Amino acid sequence: PVGTGPFKFVEWVKDDHITLAKWENYHKASAGLPYLDEVIFRAISDDTVRLTGLQTNELQWAMQVPLQKVEELKNESDIKVTVGKPYLPDMIYLNASKPPFDNKLVRQALAWCVNREEIVKVAFFGQAEEATEAVYSGNPYYTGLNAYADGPDYDKAKALLAEAGMEGLEFQFDGQPQVPTQMKTAQVLQQQFQRAGINMTIQNYESGEWISRLFAKEYQATVSYWSATLDPSHFYLTNLLSTSGWNSTGYGTPEMDAALQAFAQETEFEARKAAGEQVVAMVQDEVPMIFLDNQLQQYWVRANVFGMEPLPTMEIRMEPVYIAE
């Protein structure tokens, strides 16, 4: 690979690790950067193995630890955690191109069933923030809109299903057993929907098949996350523009396309923010997706590791990282 970064590629062993080494010709080399001579990224899918590696100093940094262990780890003197940043929105994706979710009333019925507080508590052990849009409250484009603020309202959900002629709604949720938070969220949602007489079955898929079904629009409903970065227009345009290859909901209208384009193209801040509010309002009314929470992105490192900070772009910047003796 060709680039101008602080490290050069050394080795890639599939499903095991990638090794990088300090690049001697880096443009900040005269300032002593990067500080590290070598970085090894290891692919460890097992939460327990990853956690044990961090606790025994086999690993000096972990992007994720089991959420149920978070409070316990905060008391370990050899490990520290960065400040949690709510950069990762989770949402329900609904396949609006096929029954039953080609009906707006049915999509709205599901939205009235969602209890975000319960999801954050049970699925994320409190390590997330409730969300009704793509960005968190500290973002300049945050709107605070919530068309379902009076929810959950299971009677309203039942009434919408009756109006749509869809009483006794049944549908399938596509899940990935290797993504624990997704599966736990699905179980919580399953119980919430049941309160409105909705039967959601959970079908498990290997990640490759799950992704294929998502973009082939063969699924009915699922949950996933997306890095919204600092500019939510990118998230909405990518996910909801009718011509976008990343639009896995199958939803698209000329009105939504026009609103998305206005949000993306407007240059004056106040006008752009107003365009963003229109997009958020339309998403909450049309419900091609239902925002649930913003995961707290945080890094777990050994106590002598400094310079690791999570970024809203999901980039990993190792240039300023160093290990104190």
Report the pLDDT value the prediction gives residue 226, as an integer from 0 to 100.
87
Burial environment of residue 37 by CB neighbours within 10 A (0 to 12, 13 to 18, 19 or more): exposed
Report the pLDDT value the prediction gives residue 228, as an integer from 0 to 100.
63
Choice between 45 and 101, residue whose per-residue pLDDT is larger:
101
pTM: 0.88
Least confident of 52-61, 231-240, 310-319: 310-319
Using alpha carbons, select from 7, 1, 5, 4 the residue that is nearest to residue 22: 7
In the predicted model, what is the mean pLDDT of residues 69-80?
A: 90
Three-state DSSP state, 17:
strand
Instruction: Indicate if the pLDDT at residue 200 is higher than 70.
Output: yes
Per residue in 243-287, pLDDT tens? 999 999 999 999 999 999 999 999 999 999 999 999 999 999 999
Asked whether the beta carbons of 109 and 198 are under 8 A apart, the reply is: yes
Asked whether the beta carbons of 181 and 294 are under 8 A apart, the reply is: no
Asked whether the beta carbons of 20 and 9 are under 8 A apart, the reply is: yes
Which residues does residue 38 pair with via DSSP β-bridges, in sequence order?
Answer: 21
- Residue 86 pLDDT grade (very low, low, confident, very high; cuts 50, 70, 90): confident
Q: What sign results for the dihedral spanned by CA atoms 114, 120, 123, 128?
A: positive
Asked whether the beta carbons of 79 and 302 are under 8 A apart, the reply is: yes
In the predicted model, what is the mean pLDDT of residues 211-229?
A: 92
Q: What sign results for the dihedral spanned by CA atoms 175, 177, 178, 183?
A: positive
Asked whether the beta carbons of 65 and 124 are under 8 A apart, the reply is: no
Query: Alpha helix (H) ranges present in 198-300?
Result: 207-215, 232-240, 254-265, 269-286
**H/E run at residue 202:** strand 199-204
In order, the DSSP letters of 146-160 are -TTTT---HHHHHHH
Structure tokens at 294: 């913003």
Q: What is the mean pLDDT of the chain?
A: 95
Report the pLDDT value the prediction gives residue 18, as an integer from 0 to 100.
97
Report the pLDDT value the prediction gives residue 1, as an integer from 0 to 100.
63
- Which is it for strands 322-323 and 128-130: parallel, antiparallel or unpaired? unpaired
Using alpha carbons, select from 105, 73, 113, 137 the residue that is nearest to residue 293: 137
Per residue in 45-74, pLDDT tens? 888 899 999 999 999 999 888 888 888 888
Using alpha carbons, select from 68, 23, 63 the residue that is nearest to residue 41: 63
In the predicted model, what is the mean pLDDT of residues 204-208?
A: 96
The DSSP call for residue 195 is: T
Instruction: Indicate if the pLDDT at residue 82 is higher than 90.
Output: no
- Residue 323 pLDDT grade (very low, low, confident, very high; cuts 50, 70, 90): very high
Domains plus CATH for the chain? Answer: 7-83+298-323 (3.40.190.10), 86-296 (3.10.105.10)
Per residue in 120-163, pLDDT tens? 999 999 999 999 999 998 899 999 999 999 999 999 999 999 99
- Which is it for strands 128-130 and 170-175: parallel, antiparallel or unpaired? unpaired
